[in-house]
Amino acid sequence: MAVMATDDRPRMRARLVGGLGGRLGGFKKFILRGNVVDLAVGIVIGAAFTGVVQSLVKGIITPLIGIFGGIPDFSAWTVTVNGSRFLIGDFINALLSFVILAAVVYFLVVAPVNRLMDKYRSEPQPAPTKECSECLSKIPQLARRCAHCSAQLDLPSEAVQEVMRRIAAPSGEDVADSAARVLVERLQGTDRGMVTDH
């Protein structure tokens, strides 16, 4: 059996606590993440809202229906077939609760929120365009060259013009070669522009 040195024990504890702390830190980040908190709040509010709507249905809507239909609660409706009892009234109560809950949610939550969102939603503005003089296609207003036919519509920008000048200008090596060729021609007397008197 290996015996640990007393110097290694504090390091082992620190490593164990550090690893555990890192895992707990990730768990803490997960729990406090915005989506998880929003979901928990939504579930709690939804459960409370469901209770309010169910009490509204049982306490007010169903008795109102009972005033017109004569039966304030449908749970008493049952059908018995061969000793089996079918609770049709409970199903009707649950169905009414669902329909009324859906109507309340739609008319009191969804429709007002949609109207509010539509009121403050900005429509995306289409990018201004112009017509190419060569191919008559629509291109962005700031375009200097047509993307369809590659016709040059405006002068290139200053940066592009500078790059074009650098590319078109001869390199130092080309200038040195030309100067050397002219010098050799003059020294040999073969310069075409030079007039000789002999």
User: Which pLDDT score is estimated for 44?
Assistant: 87
Task: Work out the mean pLDDT of the chain and round it to a whole number.
Answer: 75
User: Which pLDDT score is estimated for 9?
Assistant: 66
In the predicted structure, residue 164 carries a pLDDT above the cut 80? no
Does residue 169 or residue 129 have the better pLDDT? Answer: 129
Mean pLDDT of 147-158: 77
**Number of H helices and number of E strands within the chain?**
7, 4
End-to-end alpha carbon distance in the chain: 114
Does residue 185 or residue 72 have the better pLDDT? Answer: 185
User: To the nearest whole percent, how much of the chain has pLDDT over 70?
Assistant: 75
- Tell me the pLDDT band of 1, cut-offs 50, 70 and 90: very low
User: Which pLDDT score is estimated for 161?
Assistant: 76
Return the closest-CA partner of residue 76 out of 92, 58, 99, 54: 92
User: Which pLDDT score is estimated for 6?
Assistant: 53
CA distances from 32 to 24, 45, 95, 133 (A): 12, 19, 38, 59
User: Which pLDDT score is estimated for 18?
Assistant: 58
Q: Identify the three-state secondary structure at position 58.
A: helix
89-120 core/surface letters (b: 16 or more CB in 10 A; e: else): beebbeebbeebbeebeeeeeeeeeeeeeeee
Does residue 134 or residue 3 have the better pLDDT? Answer: 134
In the predicted structure, residue 152 carries a pLDDT above the cut 50? yes
In the predicted structure, residue 140 carries a pLDDT above the cut 80? yes
User: Which pLDDT score is estimated for 180?
Assistant: 82
Domains and CATH numbers, the chain: 16-120 (1.10.1200.120)
User: To the nearest whole percent, how much of the chain has pLDDT over 90?
Assistant: 0
Mean pLDDT of 62-90: 79
CA distance 54 to 67: 19
